[in-house]
Structure 1
Amino acid sequence: MSQPATQPARTSQPNVVLGMLLLVYIFNFLDRQILSILVEPIKDETGFSDTQMGLLGGLPFAILYSTMAIPFSALADRTSRSKVIAAALVVWSGFTALFGLTHAYWQMFLARMGVGVGEAGGVAPSYALIADYFPSTHRARAISVYSLGIPLGSAFGLLAGGYIAANVDWRAAFITVGLAGILIAPLFLWIVKDVPEPVAPANTPSAFWDTIGETWAIVRRKKAFWLMALGAASASMIGYGLAFWFPAFLMRSFEFDLQEASRFVAGLLLSGGVAGILASGILADKIGKKDRAFYTRLPAVAFVLAVPLFAAGILSENPTLAFFIFIIPQALVYFWLGPILSAVQHLVEPRLRATASALFLLINNLIGLAGGIYALGAFSDALKPAYGDEALRYSMLFGLALYLLAAALLAAAGPALRKGWVDEAG
């Protein structure tokens, strides 16, 4: 357990901690998403189908990423959140580098599972550490800043992967980014310190599995938890699917080369993605103080607005026009991150935050990450007889209905969130 103290004494500067967590999260998504820009080079070498690549991109990673996050987060809640995050960074970076040395499909599958095991220890403890360092009135925007790791890491992964693959090969891309992540782990551990917690009450769980059991007993009774988790999972299913298949769509439908596709998607992420995440965090903290339901209503409205705009971009035949159309929905579909992930921190007391986040991510990622990438790939293969080389375009288009399902679930979660909100001092 963390050192006892009457009041939490911050041992690092909050903004410095947030900056280091963001850096680690950038590597998290860089290593996770680099596969998306390298789908076509890998297929050219191996002859894998879209279904096989979709399976490789989601399921092996998601199974262990989702399930192992729970024990790793309980470990972080009971020991050291910063040490668990640093160890996770080393593991997932190592397996990313190892992927570059694989040849057979089963070797790639196991390497992606290893990346999932490592990343399981990174995200939920980071949410909890942010909640330790930032008061509730600023927490949504702090989590939004942390969530910038998604578009930044994805963009850098696309740019680095595309450049290295075009100038060396796709294997060198995995090895390079994996080794870079390992090198920053000691720096993270040196800078980021845990916040000592108050002396635990007498009824605090004393066993590792008791922490998981107590957290589950709380969240399973809260309607808001289920509606937010299933809503986020629906959005993540199409969101991860689009993120993975977008470069391939550009190469097939617009005849982009590898680097053109990487620059196109990176540009969307660095403009629309960054703007959407920051705006949602600021709005949630500002308006959510008046009504907690706003934490779920904001992303619900954003998803509804995003669907027709995404559809217009996907159906466009002009890549320049499509880029400018895509910027707005690319921002809107990130509106859930800051508000929803902040709200999850308020469903339990502080000492259980990492475990609660892991349970939320279990649902989100098993459905969203494992299902979305595979489903769009398999649907693309199924549509080929009717649409030929444009099958992926229509697979993405039909999948947008999942954003409407997410909007309905999150809109319904608002009243339940008001009832389930756990207030705290400061």
Structure 2
Amino acid sequence: MVEARSSTGTASGGGRVLAILLLAYIFNFIDRQIIGILAVPIRAEFDLDDKTLSYLGVVFAIFYSTIAIPIAWLADRRSRINIIAASIAVWSLFTAACGLAQSYGQLVVARMGVAFGEAGGIAPSYSLIADYFPKSRRARAMAFFSLGIPIGSALGIFFGGWLATQLSWRSAFIIVGLAGVPTALLVKLVLKEPVRGGLDNDAGKVSEPAPPLGTVMRALAANPSFWLLSFGAASGSILGYGLIFWLPSFFNRSFGLPLTDVGWFYGSIVLVGGVAGTWLGGWFGDRLGTNRPGRYALIPAVCFLITAPSFAFGLFAPNLYVAWLLFALGQMMALAWLGPVISAVQHIVPPNMRATAGASFLFINNLIGIGFGIYFLGWLSDRMKAEHGEDSLQYSILYGLAFYLLSSLLYFLAARRLERDWYRAPA
């Protein structure tokens, strides 16, 4: 069954679909990022150094990124709704299983399961949203969906810290994991499949059947904008994922905040700064980029130039009030890329390639961002411990901020290329 279009050009029920997918994405990031604040008690219980602890991110990134592409290829051919619902159930149950781990090895295996589930949730959602909202509203729709990143991350930090303090880190995993299961039923029972590509031409025709995976891969490989957008996002995500994992430990070590206070302090930074940046990035993307595709990349290019110094000064802030303002500004600028860039990735391929293109983008972004970012900051912190002692993590993050500048450069290059690589449906 497919949805019809409303008189405004949006597929009927688009607002409902977006709200439910946002809820799913919130749980996705609660389950993904709760490990950041729970890393403090996990590290203590299993007696881990920073490099060993960072393997949780490496394993997650490898499983998530590798499995996402074949699942997305299937989503270009089969029901995206069924795939998303099954994925939510899997990642939620494996998050709860993390709380049953009695060793570090068991915890690593459980996080593999979380990665397997989350691999099937995002790229099919991108494709679904693109078929519910017209081009002129897609950046805002993608930005609204992407609010799940700061909201879910903030809630993971809030409740992870509070539950770990009041109960235990194992209870935190079990409670937040089981809380996400009903969302899978909501997706399955309420959402409907829209017409693929129905909003990309005036006739509202169903798009051509999805081509073989090799055809999609060759098309992406020959598209310079895809590579610039993907590696621009990956460079920024090295710090995006690295910071969300390591900043709770930084605030605990360098500012002396107990776990509960870290939850409220850093959680509020992620929530306020992240929501503002994500929404404003999408709004500016639609306002500036609908008729000028290059501006979809120009927005994050400028924002990342502001992000790096904001976080740098925040690391050495004289007090918590100044630190909060600087980190909130940095968080806002760091997430402004989501709406414009995700929308741009959906626009450089035909509708029947969108889920696979989105998964390929996420493969690069997450494999480098989660895997390398979390590991790199932990590895560098251990290497600098002899020189900086307990402040080694602070300096590790400082030097890592150079990746934001690299991301800005790649987006400036993408801004000059997007117009030529933009997909335009045949008349």
Q: Which whole-Å deviations, capped at 9, do the CAs of 1:46-98 have from their partners, x for residues lacking one?
A: 10111111111x11111111111111111111011111000000011111000
> Compared with structure 1, are the counterparts of its residues 369 and 333 closer, same or farther at alpha carbon in structure 2 (3 Å cutoff)?
same
C-alpha contact 2:346 2:358 (8 A) present in aligned 1: yes
Q: Which residue of 2 aligns with 1:30?
A: 30
Question: Structure 1 counterpart of 2:243, which letter?
Answer: L
Tell me the equivalent position of 2:62. 63
CA–CA distance in structure 1, aligned partners of residues 14 and 305 of structure 2: 35
Aligned counterparts, 1:22-421, within 5 A: 22-56=22-56, 58-197=57-196, 198-199=205-206, 201=208, 204=209, 211-421=212-422
Write the deviation string for residues 330-350 of structure 1: whole angstroms up to 9, x where unpaired: 100111111110000011111
Distance in structure 2 (CA, Å) of the matches to 1:366 and 1:184: 26
Check conservation: 1:25, 1:149, Cα contact below 8 A: yes
Q: Deviations over 1:15-73 (max 9, x none)?
A: 110000000000000000001011111112110111111111x1111111111111111
Conserved 8 A contact 1:293-1:415: yes
1:16 alignment partner in structure 2:
16
Give the CA deviation at 1:6. Answer: 12
Inter-partner Cα distance in structure 2 for 1:408 and 1:251: 33
Cα distance in 2, alignment partners of residues 187 and 327 from structure 1:
33
SS in 2 for 1:89: helix
Number of matched residues? 418
Tell me if the contact between 2:297 and 2:412 (Cα under 8 Å) persists in the aligned partners.
Answer: yes
Q: Quick one: which amino acid aligns to residue 338 of structure 2? A: L
Amino acid across the alignment from 1:250 = F
- Once the two structures are superposed, residues 363-402 of structure 1 have per-residue CA deviations (whole angstroms, 9 ceiling, x without a partner) of 1111111100011011111111000010011101110000
TM-score normalised to the size of structure 2?
A: 0.94
Distance 1:417 1:317 in 2: 42
Distance 1:200 1:394, change over 3 A: closer
Residue 247 of structure 1 deviates from its aligned partner by 0.6
CA distance in 2, matches of 1:30, 1:211: 34
For 1:4 and 1:425, the matched residues in 2 are separated by 23
Runs of 4+ in 1 over 3 A off after TM superposition: 2-7, 9-12, 196-201
Distance 1:329 1:12 in 2: 37
Per-residue CA deviation, residues 219-264 of structure 1 (Å, 9 max, x unaligned), is 1101101111111100001111011101100000011011100101
The Cα shift of 1:3 comes to 6.6
Using structure 1 for the length normalisation, give the TM-score: 0.95
Distance in structure 1 (CA, Å) of the matches to 2:52 and 2:192: 42
What CA distance in whole angstroms lies between the structure 2 residues aligned with 1:211 and 1:5? Answer: 28
Structure 2 contact 3–11 (Cα < 8 Å) conserved: no
Offset of residue 108 of structure 1: 1.1
Q: Distance in 1 between matches of 2:102 and 2:213?
A: 38
% same residue: 47
Shift in Å at residue 107 of structure 1?
Answer: 1.1
2:47 and 2:135 map into 1 onto residues whose CA distance is 50
C-alpha separation in 2, matches of 1:374 and 1:273: 23
Structure 2: gaps (5+ residues): 197-204
Q: 1:138 to 1:10 in 2, by over 3 A?
A: closer
* Structure 1 SS opposite 2:75: helix
Amino acid paired to 1:28: N
Structure 2 SS opposite 1:38: helix
**1:199: Cα distance to partner?**
4.9
Q: What is the CA–CA distance in structure 2 between the aligned matches of 1:295 and 1:10, rounded to whole Å?
A: 21
